[in-house]
Structure formats: C-alpha cells, structure tokens
Structure 1
Amino acid sequence: MELPRNKLADLNQGNENLKAKAKWTPNARRFTEHQIKRITKNYRTHVGKGAFGEVFRGFLDDGSPVAVKKYMNQNMKEGFDKEITIHCQVNHKNIVKLLGYCSEENALTMVTEYIPRGNLKDLLHGSDDPISFEARLRIAIDCADALAFMHSKDPPIIHGDIKPDNILLDDNLGAKLSDFGISRLLSMENSYFTNNVIGSRGYMDPEHIQTGRVDPKNDVYSFGVVLVELVTRAMAAQNGTCNDLAKKFIEAFLQKNIFLKVFGKQKKARREMFDTQIANASNMEVLEKIGELAIECLRRDIKKRPEMNHVVERLRMLGKDHEKRQDRKPEKVQS
C-alpha cells in the first residue's frame, strides 16, 4: 500500500518521538536476569500468554505477588523498548501497573502487578458462572475510562489490541487493561497510516485493516466489540476465526421489521439479542441504550464514532440511571 507523503512524515515523526522517550522509565525498577529467575523461581508458575510473551507468576522480596512477562522472541529489542516506553506513560487505576523490567540480552522481561481473577475472556466464555448486569457495566466503564485516559495523553496513545484477553480482573471484578505490545504513540496529528497492520481477528477496526489508518477511533471500534460481548456473552472470535459478532449484532438490533414478523413483539425480539442472565424487565431499557452505544462505536465511518471520553460519560450516566431504577423498583416476587 502506497503511503501519502504527509502521512509518512507523521509516521516518521511518531517514531522519532518514541526514540526520544525510549529511556524515560520513571518509577520502573531495572531487574537483572538473576533477580527475575529468583522472583519466578526459574519461571516455575506459568499463568498465561500474550501477543509477544509468556506470563509467569512470581513474588518480590517483600512477598508481593507479581506477573512476569518474558518475551518469546528475544530478538525483539525494539518492540520491547516501545512497550516499556508506552507502559511507563499510562499510570491509571484501570491499567495494569508496570513495576519494572529486565533488558539484559536474552532476558527481555516485564514485571507488573499481579491481577488475581484472570482475564475477561475466561470469565465470559470459560465458565457458566453468573455475571450480574451491574458487574458487566462496571467492567465496561473501567475499560472506557482507561482508554479515554490513554487517548487524552499528549501525544495520544492507542492500545491497538482491545479484547477480553487483555482485560484483567481483580477480586472485585474491577477491570484493568494489559498488554501494550502493539500500542502506538501518535505524533502531532490524530492519525497516520502504516503498512504494519496488526491486531486480533474479530476486534480489529475495518478501517485499520483496509487502509492502515492508525487512529484513537481504532480502539473505539474494538471497545464496541467488547461491549457487545459483555451484553450478549457471545464470542467475537474463536480459535483465530472471526465470528462476525459485530455485524450480526448490528443487523439484529436495527432490523425492527424482521423482529416484528418473526417474534410478533419488538421487546421480545430485542430481549432475544442479549444474554438471558441479564435480559430482564428491570435491565432492558438501559441494556438497549448500551446496545445503541455499541453500534455507534462500531460505525464503519471512523469520523462518526464517538470519542472515548464521551463513551465513558454515557456509560456512567447509564449506570446512574440503572441505580435510580433499582431504588424505585418495588420489592415483589417475580412469578
């Protein structure tokens, strides 16, 4: 794909900004390979795998549990430096905290806080455990808040791989974004174009796939897919294959005439779209508004998608509306 000259300039400038900050690692401790092996007891406890590395559980000298990500390809020093650089700039309660790193030859590793409940994918699709509507909305708000923070940075930071696998959960089901392996720093403008189109099937912005455009709205699209997964508990991708969840959800949500013919009642048709665990009368009005917000995030025209700061504000308002409805709801036994 031929890149426009002005966009190539933006891309090059973005790379220069990254190089200029590559050594800026405030509050991140530098570990030796020997220390990493001691912390993990020689990589004894494997807990997961990311885009570029395997994750092990370990303990610091004070007994604090940590996650240690070891790069699988030790020749990726440039990518490692980029991930460290970006992760150091995103200090937020809903982003996994970077504690340190080891940059020694053949020992590229990152040390982060340990998040005990695993990831959102396992919660949604790896068990049949009930997940309340309130917990799902809170997870959505946490993720949106973190993305809004990243996009507000100067220059903006794009995560680039928003999906349930990269959303970790604490003991209270509070959400934290993780894995900044393909994140990007923007330069002076809000977008540029690249030949290096990477991401996860089922979650990647079609605009990014088709044109190579790198823009904060790429994350907005991916977040829209996650929002659909939260309210439907359906998978956007399975074994590397896209399930067209976003497309199916949009079609089902918008084709009211089909609902009327098939189900007879629009409300019943709408309810069929959502996870039956949360699709009850007390949730439906807010649930439908969340569905409408997801569709806005999934718009093909990148300019018509909302900004993440608007998304998080709307989700918070919906959360407050839901709380008020629950407070007003009379206590009665549902027959």
Structure 2
Amino acid sequence: MEQVKVFTIDELMVATKNFKEERIIGRGGYGTVYKGLLPNDQIVAVKRSKFMDEGQIEQFINELILLARTKHPNVVRLLGCCLEVEVPLLVYEFISNGTLHDHIHNIDGASWYSWSNCLQIAMDLANALTYIHSIPIIHRDIKSSNILLDDSHTPKISDFGASRLIPLNHTHLSTVVQGTLGYLDPEYFFSSQLTEKSDVYSFGVVLAELLTRTRPLLPVRQTDQNCNLAAYFIQSIQEDNLFDILDSQLIVEATQEQLIFIANLVQRCLSVKGDDRPTMMEVAIDLGELCKQPTNLSPIEREM
C-alpha cells in the first residue's frame, strides 16, 4: 500500500493561501481542487469537499482508501490527507496540463492532436484500467474530464470518489447507479449491477470522443434519434459513414485499416451487453498490436 502523509490543516491553509479563490484549479461533483505550494516547493493539488454531509465524507474516505492501494504511472498519485476537519482533505500530485476533455474540445490547443498521440493516450489509459481492475477496483466514472494530462500529454486517471473495491470471489456489485450521462453503461443503468465491463463501456465513449472530437452528448443534429456519441458512432459504422465522423487529422495520418480496426474496437467496447465487451486487458492487447503497425507516410516521405 502506498505511503500516505498526514498533513495538518495549518499546513494546507498555508499551502493554498487559506483556500483563496485564485488558487482554484478545478471543480467537481465531490469537491473543489486548489493548487498548493508546500514548504519544500513541491506543488500539489488539494481537494476540499463542498459539503459537510455523510455522503461526502464517505466519498472522500473511499477515495483515500482506494488511491492508497494504487501505484501506476497513469493513475494520479495520492500524496496525503488531512483528518483534522469534518470532511478529510486529500492531497495529490499536481498535474500541470488540464484535462483530456479540455484538450479534445479546445480547437486552439490542438497542436498535440495526432494519430500517434491519440493511440498513446488510449494505450496508457487501457493499461491503467487493466491495472485498476486487477486490484480489483471499478472506477465507475471514467470520462475525459477525469483524465488529467501532464506536460508530456501523459494521461492520469483521477477522481476515485465513486469507485468501488470488488470483494474476493465476486464479479459484480449491486449499487445505486452513479456515473455521468453520455459515459454511463446502459446495462448498469438498468440493472444496478456494476462490473468491470461498465468501465469498458465508458472507456469506449472516451475513445470515440478522442477519435471524433465530438462531445458525448450531442447537440441537435442530422441524426434522427441518437442524442449520444456512443449510438451515433455505432450507427456511423453500420451505415458505412465512419470516415465522415472521424477527425480529419487522423484520416491523413493513419491508414484506413488502422482506423477501421480501432473503430471496431470502440464498437465492441460499446456493446449493449457487458458480456459482449472485451476486458480492459484484451483492449490493451489490441491497442498494442495497433501501435506496431506503420502509419501513412508523411508528405516529405511521399516526395522521396
């Protein structure tokens, strides 16, 4: 289990300048995240609950317990906590480059966007989820805004407040349904049976989002009944319109075979029935095979 430091409230008050508004770097369903500076000049992220109810305390304790169990380069690292207040404060490594959601949907910041970078992000996330599931933890809220990027655009999965540890010899948990619309596994939504395949579905949505640069909940558009990206992506494959929805940058850089391969992988992840979805380990293996394939030649190489 990862060593977790216990901070005093005074230390975190100093680090965040008394939780000043200007130090806020993120707001989520379970709390506000502040940028902090420790006496050794280490920059950290401090998560503070918005509310003081029993549910919030449970979410924070849950995240503390689960993140203390994890150690992976693509999972945000929990450095410590503060237990002197009604709801624990959590202290994480500071990830400098915002969320994957921001980068996908911010056209001005798209210089990083390429086939090789998309493939590497997908591979890193698949490996991280394979690791998480081996513990075994189900994240339960995989989405692009819960994936942080560092300066090298290395992804790190964050926000384990809704996650659940699966007891030994169990394959699922019966829970109150939690998650985010657009990413939420429909089988879990209707059955309340949470399995690792629920994370697989959410990963499939993130991958579709990455490939199309389209938000998971669609605005009113030419699709008749499909208001979410998952259904729209599958419909486009079935109607042979895949290359109309993929980002143009990927069409230039990847081969048709690569794009069809990864689209079919997304489609399998988005299967309505969990049993029809691959495991995250199988996803990681398929992505690893894809990484070995040569991409299209660059314009300079074509002229040689």
TM-score by length of 1: 0.82
The one of 111, 135, 150 equivalent to 2:132 is 150
Query: Aligned-pair RMSD on alpha carbons?
Result: 2.1
Asked if 1:272 is matched to 2:244, the reply is yes
Aligned residues: 291
Paired position in structure 2 for 1:221: 201
Deviations 1:272-291 (A, max 9, x none): 12011211264332122111
Residue in 2 aligned with 1:14? none
Q: Which residue of 2 aligns with 1:34?
A: 10
Q: Which residue identity is paired with 1:289?
A: F
Q: Which has the larger radius of gyration?
A: 1
- Residue type of the alignment partner of 1:286: Q
Say which of 24, 27, 34 aligns to 1:46: 24
- Does residue 55 (structure 1) correspond to residue 27 (structure 2)? The answer is no
Contact 1:70 1:110 in 2 (8 A): yes
Measured in 2, the distance between the counterparts of 1:30 and 1:281 equals 48
Whole-angstrom distance in 2 between the partners of 1:71 and 1:226: 26
- Counterpart in 2 of 1:21? none
Q: Deviations over 1:226-268 (max 9, x none)?
A: 01001100000379xx941100110110123xxxxxxxxxxxx
Say which SS state the counterpart of residue 280 (structure 1) adopts.
Answer: helix
Higher mean C-alpha deviation, range 25-34 or range 177-186: 25-34
Alignment of 1:101-116 (within 5 A): 101-106=81-86, 108-116=88-96
User: Any idea what SS the aligned residue of 1:81 has?
Assistant: helix
Amino acid at match of 2:287: L
Is 2:211 the partner of 1:231? yes
Deviation at 1:118, TM superposition (A): 0.4
The answer for the alignment partner of 1:251 in structure 2 is 235
1:152-196: per-residue Cα shift (whole Å, max 9, x none)?
Answer: 11xx100000000000001111100000010001112111222x1
Contact preservation (8 Å) 2:2, 2:70: no
8 A Cα contact 1:74 1:108, kept in partner: no
2:81 is the alignment partner of 1:84: no
The question of whether the paired residues in 1 share the 8 Å contact of 2:5 and 2:79 is answered with: yes
Structure 2 residue aligned with 1:73: 51
User: Counterpart of 1:193 in structure 2: which amino acid?
Assistant: S
Shift of residue 79, structure 1, vs aligned partner: 2.2
Q: Which residue of 2 aligns with 1:191?
A: 172
1:140 match: secondary structure: helix
Contact 2:13-2:19 within 8 A present in 1 as well:
yes
Q: Does 1:140 find its partner at 2:129?
A: no
Aligned to 2:267: 295
Whether contact under 8 Å (2:36, 2:43) holds in the other structure is yes
Residues of 2 paired with 1:117 and 1:171: CA distance?
A: 6
Q: CA 1:109–1:313 in 2, change beyond 3 Å: closer, same or farther?
A: same
| TM-score, length of structure 2 as denominator length | 0.90
Q: Does residue 98 of the first structure (1) align with residue 98 of the second (2)?
A: no
User: Aligned partners of 2:216 and 2:295: how far apart in 1?
Assistant: 31
Check the 8 A contact 1:70/1:109 in 2, yes or no: yes
| Match in the other structure for 2:162 | 182
Supply the AA of the counterpart residue of 1:89.
R
Gaps of 5+ in 1: 1-24, 257-268
Aligned to 1:283: 255
- With 300-309 and 98-107 compared, the bigger mean Cα shift is at 98-107
Distance 1:185 1:314 in 2: 26
**109, 117, 121: which one aligns with 2:101:** 121
Shift in Å at residue 144 of structure 1?
0.8
**Percent identity between the two aligned chains:** 37
Does 2:181 align with 1:206?
Answer: no
Q: Give the drift of 1:330.
A: 8.0
Does the alignment pair 1:310 with 2:290? no
1:20 corresponds to: none
Assess, with a 3 A threshold, how the Cα gap between structure 1 residues 69 and 306 changes in structure 2: closer, same or farther: same
Shift of 1:35: 1.0
Letter of the aligned partner of 1:143 in structure 2?
L
Greater displacement, 272-281 / 246-255? 272-281
